[in-house]
Amino acid sequence: MADARHQAQSAPGNGRIAILGAGSLGRLWAALLPAGTTTFIPRQYGSEKNDPGLTYRFQDRHGYEYPISVPLLDWSTESPGAVIVTTKAGDTLGALEANLPNLKPSVPVVLFQNGMGSQQAVAERWPDRPIMAASTTEGANRPDARTTVHAGEGETWIGALTASASPLVAGVVAQLNASGLVIHEEPGILKRLWGKLIINAGINPYTAILDCANGDILDAPLFRNTVGALCLELVSVMHHEGLSPPSPEEMQAQIEAVARKTAKNTSSMCSDVHRGKPTEIDYINGYIVSRARAHNLPAPVNQMLTERVKLRTATQQETKPDTPGAT
């Protein structure tokens, strides 16, 4: 252990993987990467001095449950080899502002946020740092405060957002491959993020507004009456962004196919509304609205969905009873 610590100090870039955001996805990575190779970045600098770390139960894809203990990173004695960022999109810039001054400028930072906008904000704020984005279809949730469940097996794609990140992507993929998850280098990461954005924009707000599982949106009048226009808006914005979108009909078919395939799943947006937590709507349909505005395009369906999700969140927060211990 002392050797590992010494190595981390004397060889910048070879230390443990530091995870920023000890939520569902952060705990999934910490549980699956080899023991001793990860740390969590504490929320408040200095708290690691008295805190032994984080312990939780992890349920893997086969239903086996076991305890996981992850130490907290002490910036004064350790230099991480990579940082993976698993905060929600809206928390990411602030969380990095608080921590990046401690991180060596050559260390890769991998952003795991859904949606779009937070990744660009980070890359624009630190253009000289090696910043990467990841798109993952792995699923993790926390049914209670002490348990993290690997709820869905998927794949992960990682690509560079800044020039200095490009030569480091293969190394990060190799490091994360130790988790046993399927991880790919992705030179076209923005295109892949857009692909996921389309699906999220076409499913998540409907589930949050209608308070239903993914498959239940398919027959709902709100979805049936607006999904065609939603796809026209998405296609138009993508054209103006210089991307090659599918036709609106193909896009709608893709959205419906995913809703059907994941019919019983509850979207993160729907569960965030339930828990009275802020959603990532500003980085999904809200992002489409802001890009449409930048191109002088109308986006009334995305605007309507964004406003209705925000209204649901506000109403839920007002009516939510105190739930001690809820995460």
Among 87, 207, 267, 279, binds ligand NAP (CB under 6 A): 87
Asked if 236 interacts with ligand NAP (CB under 6 A), we say no
- Is 191 marked active-site? no
Among 39, 175, 268, 306, binds ligand NAP (CB under 6 A): 268
Rounded CA separation 196/205 (Å): 14
Q: Coil, helix or strand for 185?
A: strand
Asked if 89 interacts with ligand NAP (CB under 6 A), we say yes
Among 4, 5, 14, 23, binds ligand NAP (CB under 6 A): 23
The residue range among 22-30, 186-194, 220-228, 316-324 that interacts with ligand NAP, by the rule CB under 6 A, is 22-30
Rounded CA separation 161/159 (Å): 7
Rounded CA separation 114/86 (Å): 10
Q: Of 108, 136, 100, 122, whose CA–CA distance to 25 is shortest?
A: 136
Asked if 228 interacts with ligand NAP (CB under 6 A), we say no
Q: Is 22 exposed, middle or buried (0-12, 13-18, 19+ CB in 10 A)?
A: buried
The residue range among 58-66, 88-96, 231-239, 314-322 that interacts with ligand NAP, by the rule CB under 6 A, is 88-96
Task: Compare residues 133 and 140 and give the one whose CB is closer to ligand NAP.
Answer: 140
Task: Compare residues 89 and 299 and give the one whose CB is closer to ligand NAP.
Answer: 89
Tell me the backbone φ, ψ of residue 325, rounded to 5 degrees: 85, -10
The residue range among 48-56, 85-93, 240-248, 314-322 that interacts with ligand NAP, by the rule CB under 6 A, is 85-93
Q: Is 205 exposed, middle or buried (0-12, 13-18, 19+ CB in 10 A)?
A: buried
Q: Of 192, 195, 191, 217, whose CA–CA distance to 204 is shortest?
A: 217
Question: Minimum distance between the CB of residue 85 and ligand NAP, rounded to whole angstroms?
Answer: 8
Q: Convert 31-68 into a string of H (helix), E (strand) and C (coil).
A: HHCCCCCEEECCCCCCHHHCCCCEEEEEECCCCCEEEE
Among 8, 17, 18, 25, binds ligand NAP (CB under 6 A): 25
DSSP summary character for residue 72: B
The residue range among 59-67, 119-127, 136-144, 307-315 that interacts with ligand NAP, by the rule CB under 6 A, is 136-144
Please identify which of the residues 49, 191, 196, 320 carries the catalytic annotation.
196
Among 46, 67, 94, 187, binds ligand NAP (CB under 6 A): 94
H-run or E-run covering 240: helix 221-240
Asked if 88 interacts with ligand NAP (CB under 6 A), we say yes
* Sites of contact with ligand NAP (CB under 6 A): 20-26, 43, 86-89, 91, 94-95, 112-114, 136, 138-140, 268, 280
Q: Which residues are known to be catalytic? A: 196
